[in-house]
Amino acid sequence: MTSIPLIGEAIAVAADAYGARGLAGAKIGVVTFPGTLDDRDAARAVRLAGGTAVPLWHADSELGDVDAVIIPGGFSYGDYLRAGAISRFAPLMSKIIDAANSDAKLPVLGICNGFQILTESHLLPGSMIKNDHLKFICRDQTLRVENANTAWTVDYTDGQEIIVPLKNQDGQYIADEKTLDALEAEGRVVFRYVGFNPNGSRRDIAGISNAAGNVVGLMPHPEHAVETGFGPESLNGEPRDTDGLGFFTSVLTKIVGGDK
C-alpha cells in the first residue's frame, strides 16, 4: 500500500507519486436526491482528502467522467415508502449500477441513506429496518475495520478501531442467515460495531461490500469525521475527530495509484 499524507501536502506529494494527474485530478461524484442532507459534507470530505468533488443530480442520465461515486446520507423522498426504495429508480442510479458492475468496477460508497439505496438497488445484499429501540439515534460510534482491502478502506489496517458519528432511524441491518454466512466467509463484512450495537444490526454489522470490493455501504457517517474540531470526541478527550478521512484518501489512492 502506498501511503498518502492527510490534509495539506497531499496534492503536491500525490502529483509526484502518481504523475501529472495528481490527487486533485481525481473526480469523485456526490449524488443529490430530493431530501439528501449530507451531500455538502461528503463533498467537503473529498476536498479535504485532496480530491475534487463533482456534484451529480439524481435526474441526470449521464455519470460524466467521475472516477468514483458517493451516495450520501439523508432522507431521500422523505423515506416515506421504505428508505431508498424510490431513489433506486432515479435515472442516474441505473448508470451507477452499470458502472459498478462493469469491468472498470467504479468505486461506489453509500453512507446511511446511501447504503439503503445500494441495498434497494441490489448492489449490496440485505436490508435496513427500523432501529430495534424504535428511536432515532445520534452518537459517536466505535467501529472495527474488518476488511482493509476494499476501494474505500485501503488506508486503514485490518482490525483498526475508528470512531465516526452514527445517526439514523432505520439502521438495523438484516439479511437471512445464508447471506450473512456468505458475507462473513467472503470477507465482505467491512465494518462492525464495537462495544455497543446501536440499532440491533445482525452480527453487529455496520458496513459491507460487494464481492469485488469496489462497492461499500455503511450506516455510520465517515464524512462527519474529517476535520479537526468538527468530529467526534472520545470520552477521555483524546482527539478522534478525523478518523473518517481514511475512506476518502483510500479511494483517491485507489484511483490515482491504480490497483493496489
Partner 1 sequence: MTTETTKKFNIDTVEHAAKTPDTELPWAELGLKQNEFDEIVKVLGRRPTGAELAMYSVMWSEHCSYKSSKNHLRQFGEKVTEEMKKDMLVGIGENAGVTNLGDGWAVTFKIESHNSPSFVEPYQGAATGIGGIVRDIISMGARPVAVMDPLRFGAIDHPDTARVMHGAVAGIGGYGNCLGLPNIGGEMVFDSVYQGNPLVNALAVGVMRHEDIRLANASGKGNKVVLFGARTGGDGIGGASVLASESFDDTKPSKRPAVQVGDPFAEKVLIECCLELFKGSLVEGIQDLGAAGISCATSELASNGDGGMQVELTSVLLRDPTLTPGEILMSESQERMMAVVTPENIEAFEAVMDKWAVEYSWLGEVTDTGRLIITWEGEVIVDVDPRTVAHDGPVYDRPFARPEWQDSVQANSFTGSVEDAGRPSAPTELAAAVTELVASPNMCSKSWITKQYDRYVGGNTAMAFPDDAGVVRVDEETGLGVALATDANGRYTYLEPYQGAQLALAEAYRNVATSGAVPMAVSDCLNFGSPEDPDVMWQLAEAIRGLSDACMELGIPVTGGNVSLYNQTGTTPIHPSPVVAVLGKLDDVARRTPSGWREDGQAIYLLGTTAAELDGSEWSNLRGHLGGLPPKVDLAAERALGEILINASRDGMVDAAHDLSEGGLAAALVESSLRYGVGARIALEELMERDGVDLFTALFSESQARAIVSVPRSEEVRFKDMCTARGFAHLRIGVVDAAGGKLEINGVDELSLDALREAHEGTLPKYFG
Query: For this structure, is 58 an active site residue?
Result: no
Q: Does 152 bind partner 1 (CB under 8 A)?
A: no
CA–CA distance, 260 with 244 (Å, rounded to integer):
20
- Residue carrying the nine cell digits 443530480: 57
According to DSSP, the β-strands at 205-209 and 215-218 are: antiparallel
Q: Which of 10, 23, 29, 44 binds partner 1 (CB under 8 A)?
A: 44
Among 120, 146, 221, 224, the active-site one is 221
Count of all residues that appear for the chain in the document: 260
- Residue among 67 and 170 whose Cβ is closer to partner 1: 170
Residue 237, interface with partner 1 (CB under 8 A)?
A: yes
Determine, following the binding rule CB under 8 A, whether residue 170 of this chain makes contact with partner 1: no
Among 95, 192, 224, 240, binds partner 1 (CB under 8 A): 224
Note whether 167 binds partner 1 by CB under 8 A: yes
- Give the count of residues interacting with partner 1 (CB under 8 A): 32
Which member of 120, 146, 223, 224 is catalytic?
223
Out of 6, 17, 37, 129, name the contact with partner 1 by CB under 8 A.
37
- Please tell me whether residue 210 adopts helix, strand or coil conformation: coil
Q: Strand (E) positions, the chain?
A: 27-32, 52-57, 68-71, 108-111, 127-129, 137-145, 161-168, 172-174, 189-193, 205-209, 215-218
Minimum CB distance to partner 1 smaller for 95 or for 167: 167
157 φ/ψ angles, rounded to the nearest 5 degrees: -120, 150
CB nearer to partner 1: give 44 or 188.
44
Strands 215-218 and 108-111: parallel
Q: Are 214 and 100 in contact (CB under 8 A)?
A: yes
| Residue 38 binding partner 1, by CB under 8 A | yes
Gap between the Cα atoms of 106 and 171, Å rounded: 25
Q: How is residue 221 written as a grid cell? A: 457517517
Can 138 be counted among the known catalytic residues? no
For residue 88, state whether it binds partner 1 (rule: CB under 8 A).
Answer: no
SS3 of the chain: helix, strand, coil, percent, to 5: 30, 25, 45
Which DSSP state fits 60? Answer: -
105 binds partner 1 (CB under 8 A): no
Is 230 a binding residue for partner 1 by CB under 8 A? The answer is: yes
Window of 2-10, 122-130, 230-238, 251-259 that interacts with partner 1 by CB under 8 A: 230-238
Does 58 contact partner 1 by CB under 8 A?
Answer: no
Binding site for partner 1 (CB under 8 A): 34-35, 37-38, 40-41, 44, 74-75, 77-80, 135-139, 165, 167, 169, 221, 223-224, 226-227, 229-230, 233, 235-237
